[in-house]
Amino acid sequence: MLFNSFEFIFLFLPITVIGFSCIGKYGHKKLAVLWLVTASLFYYSWWNPVYFWLITASIVFNYGIGTTLSKQLSLSKFSRKIILASGIALNLSLLGYFKYANFFLKNINSLLDQPIVHWDTIFLPLAISFFTFQQIAYLADAYEDRVHEHSFLHYCLFVTFFPQLISGPIVHHKEMMPQFERNSTYKLSSENIAVGLTIFFIGLFKKAVLADGIAVYAAPVFEAAEQNILLTFLEAWGGALGYTFQIYFDFSGYSDMAIGLGRMFGINLPLNFHSPYKAKSIIEFWRRWHITLSRFLRDYLYIPLGGNRKGSVRRYLNLMIVMFLGGLWHGAGWTFIAWGAMHGFYLIINNSWRTLLRALGYDSNGSGWLGQRLSQIVTFTAVVLAWVIFRAESINGAENVLKGMAGLNGFVMPESYLDGLNQIAPIKSFLANIGWEFHSLKFLQGKAEILSLFFLLIVSWCAPNTQQIMHRYQSVFDIYRVEVKKWRWNFLRWTPNFAWFLFTLTLATISIYRMMSYGYKEFIYRFF
Amino acid sequence: MDIKNLFTGFSNRTYIVGIILGIIAYVFIAETFLRIYVIPNDELSQVAVSVYESEKRDVIIGDSQFKFGFPEDYSLFEGLSFNGMPVETMGIILKEYYRHRRPNKVIIIAAPQMLAENRVERGDLGFKEYFKFNAVKLPFMIYAFEKLVSRNLADFFKWIHYKPEQQFKENMWEETAEEKRTEMTLKRIETQRPVKNFQETRNFKSYYQLLTLLKDKNAKICLLKMPVADEYRELVRNDKDFLEAETAFKEMAAAYNVKYVDLGQIPVTNDASLYINSDHLNEKGRRLFAPLVEKYCFDQ
């Protein structure tokens, strides 16, 4: 069941909210939690009931290890370390088996002439990367004696809470437990529902209309690249930008919907997405994109590896390791590894550049308006190039798109694109002189595609994000040094009035129309 | 109502109720539109309605040959046929149709064009995405949520101004010159020619899957080949590809112990006056052959 499906919006969600409200109204806190856990497990098992046993076993195992670690403080440090290490090892083995076994065996077999291992394809259980990381963080917190709430029911809800179960945000035990403890959580509030509904429908619009709408332009380009069809400059850029905005609005939409759903139940989830294409450096990009994953990798990998405390070379090595593993977390494939490595490389350049600026006496954070815009464009271009590798099904496919983007397969444009411009200046002859050809293109869908890409670029660069719109209502759990600056125009900040009612209803009906007419696609992050 | 102006004064409760009612109103309008403009005119939507609502246990399923082959008032069987139906799609429709019904008599098309390239290429026509709400038996269906029907909302204006396509002239085939008829039939045969190694295609294998499904549910099955005009019959009489397809259907019928009936072989006068083109019956043809189907298919 997807957030953007009819069965979720018109059946599962209303029933869950009404049930929760009825139980909470009479002060049955435990029963209300049980209701949410049951609903979440039902939601999870909808894809495949077999997964139910996997997640249940994982919860019981981790809860057992976690409570042992946090309650048996008298154990020697060595014993506690062994318990923690075995807990983490088992979680990672499970993840390794389901997510990476196919990949490694396929590669080993392809290196050898005679396949040494025959292996039936293992199907990846839903959300395993998310709930595994979440529980590893819990074990680490329990080891550090940061876990002080031991209710099993609350722990189950912490892992399974359906708004964040499938694709994050990756939440911390300490962020959720106090919210489950609060009495006010169990009393349905009209403010929470109004705020939650608005955020949910903003997210639904981003996913169903913007992300799914632009996907039709990106997919054929990447399919052609896999078949070694030569892509010209505009076609390749059209596909790359198409995917850049598809994944942006897909993940942003998902994150909004998750936050909106959480809010309906009185739970604030952590901010996970904060206008990443407005970033003016790759360092900033990673503070804005999938914030809770970055936080996890920083706290549980980068810092334990030594972070930036052991000199520049070690710091860069740590960055590379973290991004490499971050890439691998997204999927078992060379393209994901290459994408992670590319971002590791970007981060090294970015950090070196800052060090150099500081050494030369410049302020690495400050520059004029023009400088900031240039930084934003350079960052955005670097991100687009990396998305090409992320999206492609093979390194060869990625190479073909990148070649097209570099102009190695020629520059072609349909003549009709110049109709208006030619009246102002002899653009065509100029372009022809520098090597452009004029005929139709198979993988560029015309002016509609160009206008759509331009529109989405403007939205992602200039529009306020959902947290800025909902600023008055603190829609997210405030984490990780992300400032949700107020938007300069007051009317763009949500408040329950007629204009916002019309706006939200319009977003909702357009999204539902789109779902009825064109169906609904899975979220990209659901496969990670 | 506590509206003061556009930007002040709306309680959260009014806001929530307004949005929920707005969405319900929108779904209601979409549903009404689909029921008035789309369902009566779109043959695929009619298949969806049959799957969700029909009370019949007997079914006829095939492509346009079946669609044209039975009169509209042929009410004994539920007609689930549509133009260009591939076998995979046929399997999905039958599976969904009999999800909550017990099958009785099922007549399935078994003709060479079902194994042609255009059917193989079409795969399941995206039907795996449909009938999601058929997982449980619903007391009523909102077609705005059934993608097979609701996808027509994308062509809103087409359906608002919809005019049914001009029907074929009933005696068109009879009035066509003999030479022209042969020329048209030759073209038709080429588009309907079974692909080489059709036995290897998922399209053909789907026949076995759907027969297994129906047999498991104890259905009475008949594999039926519709009659074709004399020109067509003569031109494929010794055609290897067509003969191979026929043999495959006969073997299939034998393997499942079901009847294979070729209506073209039964002793009735077969002339051009029964057809609108080389392989589709007209009203006169329908009235002649349809009453014979049940007899040849199910009478011992």
The per-residue pLDDT for range B140-172, each reduced to its tens digit, is 899 999 999 999 999 988 888 888 776 677 788
Q: Buried b vs exposed e over A36-69: b needs ≥16 C-beta within 10 Å?
A: bbebbbebbbbeeeebeebbbebbeebbebbebb
Write out chain A residues lying below 8 Å of B7, CB-based. 491, 495, 497-499
Residues of B in contact with A6 (CB under 8 A): 145
Q: Above 50 in pLDDT, residue A183?
A: yes
> Residues A292, A296, A297, A299: is their CA dihedral positive or negative?
positive
Interchain pair A501, B11: CB under 8 A: no
pLDDT higher than 50, residue A84: yes
Please give the pLDDT value at position A248: 96
Alpha-carbon dihedral angle through residues A500, A502, A508, A512, given to the nearest 10 degrees = -170
**Given the structure tokens 């002016």, which residue do they identify?**
A447
Q: What's the pLDDT at A149?
A: 83
* The residue type at A380: F
Interface test with chain B among A21, A195, A264, A498, by most B beta carbons within 10 Å: A498
Query: Which one of A491, A509, A519 has the shortest CB-CB distance to B147?
Result: A519
d(CA B116, CA B198): 8
Answer yes or no: is pLDDT of B1 > 50: no
- Would you please indicate which residues of A are annotated as catalytic (active-site) residues? 330
Compare A461 and A371 and report the one with higher pLDDT: A461
Which residue in B76, B119, B40, B10 sits closest to B290, CA to CA? B76
pLDDT at B2: 47
pLDDT surpasses 90 at B38: yes
Q: Which pLDDT score, from 0 to 100, does residue A441 have?
A: 84
**What dihedral angle (degrees, nearest 10) is formed by the CA atoms of B38, B44, B47, B48?**
-70
Report pLDDT for A431: 81
pLDDT of residue B266 exceeding 70, the answer is yes
Q: Do B16 and A6 touch (CB under 8 A)?
A: no
Long-range CB contacts (within 8 A, 24+) of A308-312: A312/A355
Chain B residues with CB under 8 Å of A500 CB are 10, 15
* pLDDT recorded at residue A99: 87
pLDDT at A114: 67
Give the type of residue at A174.
K
| A193 touches B at CB < 8 Å | yes
A330, A525 contact by CB (below 8 A): no
Residue A478 has pLDDT above 70, yes or no: no
Distance from CA of B72 to the nearest CA of A (A): 29
Q: What percent of chain B has pLDDT over 90?
A: 72
How far, in whole angstroms, is CA A108 from its chain's centroid? 31
Pairing verdict, β B275-277 and B280-281: antiparallel
Higher pLDDT, A235 or B168: A235
Instruction: Count Cα neighbours of A299 within 13 Å in the Cβ-side half-sphere.
Output: 18
User: Per residue, what are the HEC states of A392-449?
Assistant: CCCHHHHHHHHHHHCCCCCEEECHHHHHHHHHHCCHHHHHHHCCEEECCCCCCCCHHH
Highest mean pLDDT of the ranges A99-108, A507-516, B285-294: A507-516
CB-based contact B16:A190 (threshold 8 Å): yes
> Helix, strand, coil shares of chain A as percentages rounded to 5?
70, 0, 30
Of B6, B10, B16, the CB nearest to A197: B16
Confidence band (pLDDT; 50, 70, 90) for B7?
low
Q: Answer whether B154's CB lies under 8 Å from B119's CB.
A: no
Q: What is d(CA A337, CA A23) in angstroms, rounded to the nearest whole number?
A: 47
A121 interface with B at CB cutoff 8 Å: no
| Coil, helix or strand at residue B298 | helix
pLDDT-derived band at B252 (thresholds 50, 70, 90) equals: very high
| Nearest one of A528, A38, A34, A47 to A290, comparing CA atoms | A528
More confident residue, A511 or A27: A511
Task: Tell me the mean pLDDT in the region B46-68.
Answer: 94
Asked if residue A520 lies in contact with residue A208, where contact means CB atoms within 8 angstroms, the answer is yes
CA A410 to chain centre: 34
Confidence of residue A239 (pLDDT cuts 50, 70, 90): very high
Q: Do A505 and B16 touch (CB under 8 A)?
A: no
In A1-60, the residues whose Cβ lies within 8 Å of chain B are 6-7, 10
Sign of CA dihedral A16, A18, A20, A23: negative
Higher pLDDT, A365 or B141: B141
Tokens in use for B211? 């027969």
What is the predicted pLDDT for the residue at A358? 86
Closest Cα partner for A128 from A338, A330, A333, A335?
A330
B242 vs A51, residue with greater confidence: B242
Query: And the tokens for B261?
Result: 């009936």
> Of A277, A300, A276, whose CA–CA distance to A287 is shortest?
A276
**From CA A33, how far away is CA A37, in angstroms rounded?**
6
Nearest to residue B228, comparing CAs of B77, B68, B2?
B68
Degrees, nearest 5: CA angle A117-A119-A121: 150
Segments in chain B forming alpha helices (H):
12-33, 43-53, 64-69, 87-97, 117-122, 147-150, 156-160, 172-175, 178-192, 202-216, 230-236, 240-256, 283-298
Note the pLDDT of residue A524.
86
Query: In 10 A of CB A312, how many CB atoms?
Result: 12
Q: Name every residue whose Cβ is closer than 8 Å to that of residue A347 and which is 6 or more positions away in sequence.
A: A282, A283, A286, A319, A323
DSSP A493: S
The minimum CA-CA distance between A496 and chain B, rounded to whole Å, is 5
Q: What is the residue-averaged pLDDT of chain B?
A: 91
pLDDT at B198: 94
Long-range contacts at B71-75 (CB < 8 A, ≥ 24 apart):
B71/B283, B71/B286, B71/B287, B71/B290, B74/B286, B74/B290
Query: What average pLDDT does the structure give for chain A?
Result: 89
Question: For position A150, what pLDDT does the model report?
Answer: 85
- Give A246-300 pLDDT, tens digit per residue: 999 999 999 999 999 999 999 999 999 999 999 999 999 999 999 999 999 999 8
Average pLDDT estimate for A148-153? 88
Q: By the 8 A CB rule, do B46 and B39 touch?
A: yes
Instruction: For residue B130, give the chain A residue with the closest CA.
Output: A519
Q: How does pLDDT run across B178-226, given as a tens digit for each residue?
A: 889 999 999 999 999 999 999 999 999 999 999 999 999 999 999 999 9
Q: Which residue in chain B is spatially nearest to A503 when comparing CA positions?
A: B19
Rounded CA separation A352/A373 (Å): 20
Between vectors from CA A221 to CA B125 and to CA A410, what angle results, nearest 5°? 145
Cis previous bond, A169, omega within 30: yes
- Rounded to 5 degrees, what angle do the CA atoms B85, B88, B91 make? 95
Lowest mean pLDDT among A143-147, A301-305, B49-53, B72-76: B72-76
* Cβ-proximal residues to A361 (8 Å cutoff; 6+ apart), any chain: none
CB burial class (10 A; 0-12, 13-18, 19+) of residue A219? middle
* CB burial readout A134-170, b (16+ within 10 A) else e: bbbbbbbbbbeeebeeeeeebbbbbbbbbbbbbbbbb
pLDDT average, residue stretch A438-467? 89
Q: How many CB atoms lie within 10 A of CB A35?
A: 18
Cα–Cα distance list, A172 to A73, A138, A142, A326, B41 (Å): 21, 7, 11, 18, 55
Determine the 3-state secondary structure of A507 from DSSP: helix
Q: CA–CA separation, B69 vs B126, rounded Å?
A: 26
* Region of poorest pLDDT, from A27-41, A92-106, A344-358, A394-408: A92-106
- Chain-centre distance for alpha carbon A117: 34
pLDDT of A484 reads 64
Distance CA A402, CA A387 (A): 11
Tokens of B235: 């031109």
Strand partners, B60: B79, B107
Chain A residue with CA closest to B7: the answer is A497
